[in-house]
């Protein structure tokens, strides 16, 4: 019986996911790579984050999104699973907005990190 948990996300773009993890200072490996779990069990992931305890965290494509895959009993991150996913998702959204607006000819005019952790972006486009 597998000990792996699979947590749904709204993450669909691999490049933005990888950029988000890098932005957060998280060391990750590109896959396919095995994510190590209980008693040597593994799951294949597209992105893997090694933990010092020998149990990994991964993101794998399920056909619709990149879900988080991990044996949560051995979670060894400074943040809870929920907070970790919240940070990754926020950074993923940030990367998505920057790319989408740049594709439409916008540039970031102002970026302010709010006290509550949210990010306020102002983008502008010059029409010539």
Which 3-state string (H, E, C) describes the chain?
A: CCCCEEECCCCCCHHHHHHHHHHCCCCCEEEEEEEECHHHCEEEEEEEECCCCCCCEEEEECCCCEEEEECHHHCCCCCCHHHHHHHHHHHHHHHHHHHHHHHCCCEEEEEEECCCCCEEEEEECCCC
pLDDT at 64 over 70: yes
- Kindly state whether residue 102 falls inside one of the protein's structural domains: no
Q: What is the pLDDT of residue 55?
A: 93
- Is 40 part of a structural domain of the chain? yes
What is the per-residue pLDDT for 117? 84
- At residue 2, the pLDDT reads 64
* pLDDT for 31: 83
Q: What angle do CA 59, 88, 17 make, to 5 degrees?
A: 55
Average of per-residue pLDDT across 116-127: 87
Is residue 3 a contact partner of residue 37, using CB atoms and an 8 Å limit?
Answer: yes
Are the CB atoms for 5 and 72 separated by under 8 Å? yes
Assigned domain for 47 exists: yes
- The answer as to whether 45 is a domain residue is yes
For residue 67, give the nearest of 75, 76, 58 by alpha carbon: 58
Express each pLDDT in 4-43 by its tens digit. 999 999 999 999 999 999 999 999 999 899 999 988 889 9
Residue 104 lies in a domain: no
In this structure, is residue 120 part of a structural domain?
Answer: no
* pLDDT tens-digit map of 80-118: 999 999 999 999 999 999 999 999 999 989 989 999 888
Domain that holds residue 57: 5-96
Total structural domains within the chain: 1
Question: Is residue 77 in a domain?
Answer: yes
């Amino acid at each position: 019986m597998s000990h792996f948990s699979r947590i749904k996300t709204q993450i669909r773009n691999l490049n933005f996911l990888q950029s988000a993890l890098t932005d957060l200072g998280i060391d990750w490996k590109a896959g396919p790579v095995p994510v190590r779990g209980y008693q040597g069990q593994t799951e294949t992931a597209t992105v893997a984050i090694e933990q010092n305890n020998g149990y990994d965290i991964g993101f794998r494509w399920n056909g619709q999104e990149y879900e988080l895959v991990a044996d949560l009993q051995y979670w060894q991150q400074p943040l809870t699973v929920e907070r970790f996913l919240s940070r990754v998702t926020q950074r993923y959204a940030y990367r998505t907005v920057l790319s989408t607006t740049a594709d439409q000819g916008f540039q970031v005019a102002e970026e302010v990190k709010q006290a509550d952790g949210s990010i306020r972006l102002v983008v502008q486009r010059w029409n010539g």
